[in-house]
Amino acid sequence: MPLVKVVNLYHRYGEKEILKNINIEVEKGEVLAIIGPTGAGKTTLLRLLDLLETPTSGKVYFDGTDVTESRKVRLEIRRRMAFVLQKPAVFNMSVYDNIACSLKWRGVGKSSIRQKVNSILEIVGLSAYKNRNARTLSGGEAQRVAIARAVVIEPEVLLLDEPTANLDPASTSRIEELISQIIRQYSTTIVMATHDMSQGQRLADRIAVLINGEILQMGDSREAFTSPRSREVAEFVGVENIWDGVITSNEEGAVTIDIGGKVIEAISNYAVGQRIYACVRPENITLALSRASSSARNSFAGEITRVASLGPLTRIEIDCGFQLVALVTKRSAEELNLESGNKVYATFKATGVHIISKGNDLA
């Protein structure tokens, strides 16, 4: 039996539909990441799972119990979970008292509280700050208090809403490390929301992609990234080359695709005439100054239209008769002198093309 089960859930605020037809099952000990852009409904979904709100329609089951029962049942179930809000409030009291309060509310005895709080302080690395007022902590430290406060009750389900939003990179990796440690040490069931695709991959066993209130794809942590099932998911996971096309030939799975006059080759089972989106991740495109002979089936000459630096990487837009985006290292960009107006050859393998049928998209 799944620990958390959501069936046909819809949620509306007034006229606005926030969540549509959500169905999720989370097994005990599993880590599920809900990824999606800001405003997709991730926070609302977590609030519904934590019983802070009741869904407009549909059911949420916790360990087999329908949670829409009485207030008393809801409180009891809520006490078996813990939720770290995106912007958690630390209470205006000492770090120790902040962490102790969730235990106190559950009627845990004083000596047991002392022992549990001290050990969790050790884990989150805040023992030295025990007696400091939590309001004086930095953002990353306050987030660690918030996580400690949730984990100290040893919840059956831990809900995390954007645990690293608004944190600097150092604090982010520290919090991620802490979360993986919790996963290892307590094997807690976790449902976390994040807009950071790679964070979801690093921490989760499964990923659900939530866009515009709908779960468009759910699968293991690589699936959405490597084989998005719709255009929206492909866009969200960073596939920058999405071309409208139609299959023009299919020889035992080796297909040619007409994308507005140009023809690319790919591997697919779709029949001739099928309208599709051809997706290529920008990091799978290689650039060269001359047409080199290689095993890659697709090579196009084009002119660079835009160059943007993204830290160690450089994003290059090329006009090959169709728009193409490539991601290369900054060093390559410098050595090949990739600048606006220059001619280059863009190459990608037939196996690097992911095909999405247009039928899926209309559903």
Partner 1 sequence: MDEIWQGFLKAIELIVSLDPEVMEIAGRSLRISGTAALLASLICLPVASLIHFHNFRGKRALINIIQTLFSVPTVVIGLFVFVLLSRAGPLGTLQFLFTPTAMIIGQMILVTPILLGLTISALSGVDRTVRDTALSLGASDFQTIMVILREARYAVVAALIMGFGRAISEVGCALMIGGNIKGFTRIITTAISLETSKGELELAIALGIILLSLALIVNVALNRIQQR
Interactions with partner 1, residue window 30-69 (CB under 8 A):
50, 52
Compute the distance between CA of residue 195 and CA of residue 210 in angstroms, rounded to an integer: 10
d(CA 121, CA 137) in angstroms, rounded, equals 14
Residue 2 CB partners (closer than 8 Å, separation 6+):
25, 26, 27, 28, 61
Type of residue numbered 198: S
Q: What is the C-alpha separation between 327 and 313, in angstroms, rounded?
A: 7
Mark 152-171 with x for binding to partner 1 (rule: CB under 8 A) and - for no binding. -x-----x------------
3-state SS assignment for residue 33: strand
191 versus 338: smaller Cβ distance to partner 1: 191
Tell me if 82 contacts partner 1 by CB under 8 A: yes
Contact predicate 156/80, CB 8 Å: yes
Span interacting with partner 1, options 72-80, 116-124, 169-177, 259-267, rule CB under 8 A: 72-80
Residue placing its CB nearer to partner 1 in the complex, 84 or 304: 84
CB of 80 to partner 1, least distance (A): 8
Task: Count other C-beta atoms under 10 Å from residue 206's C-beta.
Answer: 20
Q: Which residues does residue 62 pair with via DSSP β-bridges, in sequence order?
A: 4, 65
When asked if residue 304 is in the footprint of partner 1 (CB under 8 A), the reply is no
354-357 and 275-280 beta bridge pairing:
antiparallel
Count, residues near partner 1 per rule CB under 8 A: 24
Cβ neighbourhood burial of 194 (10 Å; 0-12, 13-18, 19+): buried
Tokens 């599709």 correspond to 276
Minimum distance from CB of 39 to partner 1 (Å)?
Answer: 18
Whether 317 and 325 have beta carbons less than 8 Å apart is answered as yes
Name the token pair of 251: 């020889």
Shortest gap between Cβ of 159 and partner 1 (angstroms)? 8
- The reply on whether position 93 binds partner 1 by CB under 8 A is yes
Residue 18 CB: number of other CB atoms within 10 A?
20
* Least CB distance to partner 1 at residue 346 (A): 48
Query: Which of 89, 263, 289, 301 contacts partner 1 by CB under 8 A?
Result: 89
| Stretch near partner 1 under the rule CB under 8 A, chosen from 30-38, 98-106, 168-176, 219-227 | 98-106
- Residue (104 or 306) nearer to partner 1, CB: 104
Among 101, 165, 246, 296, binds partner 1 (CB under 8 A): 101
Q: Segment contacting partner 1 (CB under 8 A): 79-87, 201-209, 251-259, 274-282? A: 79-87
**Looking at beta carbons only, is 150 or 355 nearer to partner 1?**
150
| β-sheet bridge partners, residue 264 | 257
Closest separation in Å from C-beta 51 to partner 1: 9
Is there binding between residue 13 and partner 1 (CB under 8 A)? Answer: no
The residue within the footprint of partner 1, chosen from 59, 87, 306, 343 (CB under 8 A), is 87
Select the residue interacting with partner 1 from 27, 68, 91, 186 (CB under 8 A).
Answer: 91
User: Is 301 one of the binding residues for partner 1 (CB under 8 A)?
Assistant: no
CA atoms within 13 A on the CB side of 237: 29
Q: How far is the CB of 145 from partner 1 (least distance, A)?
A: 11
Q: How far apart are CA 278 and CA 262, in angstroms?
A: 12
Minimum Å gap between C-beta 52 and partner 1 is 6
Nearest to 161 by CA among 198, 196, 137, 213: 196
For position 345 contacting partner 1 by CB under 8 A, the verdict is no
Would you count residue 88 as binding partner 1 (CB under 8 A)?
yes
Sequence-distant (6+) residues with CB within 8 A of 162 are 42, 43, 86, 193, 194, 195
| Euclidean distance between CA atoms 6 and 345, whole angstroms | 49
Residue 141 interacting with partner 1 (CB under 8 A) = no
Instruction: Give the binding range for partner 1 (CB under 8 A) out of 90-98, 116-124, 263-271, 333-341.
Output: 90-98
Parallel, antiparallel or unpaired: strands 31-35 and 189-194: parallel
289: left (phi over 0), alpha (psi -120 to 50) or beta: alpha
Which parts of this chain interact with partner 1 (CB under 8 A)?
Answer: 50, 52, 75, 78-79, 82-85, 87-89, 91-93, 101-102, 105-106, 146, 149-150, 153, 159
